[in-house]
Amino acid sequence: MDNICLVCCQNPKRNKYQFCSKYCMNWAVSTAPMLLQVPSNHVMYRDGRTPRKSSAFAVRAIKTGFKTTLHYKHSMPLMQRYPIRQANCFDRSGVRFGRGIYMAASSSKAIQYAQNGDPRSKYEAILVTRVVLGNPQLVCKEDHRREQPDTPYHSVEAHPENSGPIEDVVYNHNAVHLAYLIIVKQ
């Protein structure tokens, strides 16, 4: 397995980090947003059974986006209820736990969220995110009308009644920060 820094491609990356040094990290942040291709033999490229990954990219987001997520995270204990930005949430029928932003740790569930706008394309994109869940509310029954978690919760941890993958749902777009873009081939 290759363990090289994704910026300088010369030194090994530090444990739990994508880069070898603060210099490379600062360079990535200062040139954001950008995509860094992750080679298939790299430790950060994890290939699941299905779907087959065609490419993986580390996304360095704009500083203000990450600061907004951090501000949201640090303000959680001070807030009673969170304003819902419904324009940034899904608005379609058939969602199991209401109008929210859905995440899944399971790659088999995450690929179900990938929708290709062009049916002729063989590729789909999966966004890997860092999410502030705060105090999650455990929910087992579907609730299609839900627009936010009950007080005093910040998010929903959805355990489907008939087993299946666990989903996390947040109702505020500031709780989500983009980390990676993975391109999969059908």
Q: Is the pLDDT confidence value at 108 over 90?
A: no
- Provide the sign of the torsion angle of the four alpha carbons 138, 144, 149, 154, taken in this order: positive
pLDDT of res. 69: 59
pLDDT of res. 159: 83
Hey, is 111 helix, strand or coil?
A: helix
The domain over range 62-185 is classified in CATH as 3.60.20.10: no
Mean pLDDT (whole number) for 148-174: 85
CA–CA dist 163, 121 (Å, integer)? 32
181 compared with 67, residue with greater pLDDT: 181
By the 8 A CB rule, do 168 and 104 touch? yes
Report the percentage of the chain scoring pLDDT > 70.
67
Q: Is the pLDDT confidence value at 102 over 60?
A: yes
Cα within 13 Å of Cα(93), Cβ side: 0
pLDDT of res. 79: 41
The CA–CA distances, whole Å, from 12 to 4, 7, 47, 134 equal 4, 11, 21, 33
Mean pLDDT (whole number) for 8-31: 83
pLDDT in tens, 114-159: 767 777 888 777 777 778 888 899 998 888 888 889 999 999 998 8
- Ordered by start, the domain boundaries in the chain are 1-47, 62-185
pLDDT of res. 38: 78
pLDDT in tens, 34-44: 677 778 788 77
Q: Considering the entire predicted model, what is its pTM?
A: 0.56
pLDDT of res. 66: 56
* Extended beta strands in 119-161, E state: 123-131, 136-139, 155-158
pLDDT of res. 84: 32
CB-based contacts of 133: which residues, under 8 Å, 6+ apart? 154, 155, 157, 168, 170, 175
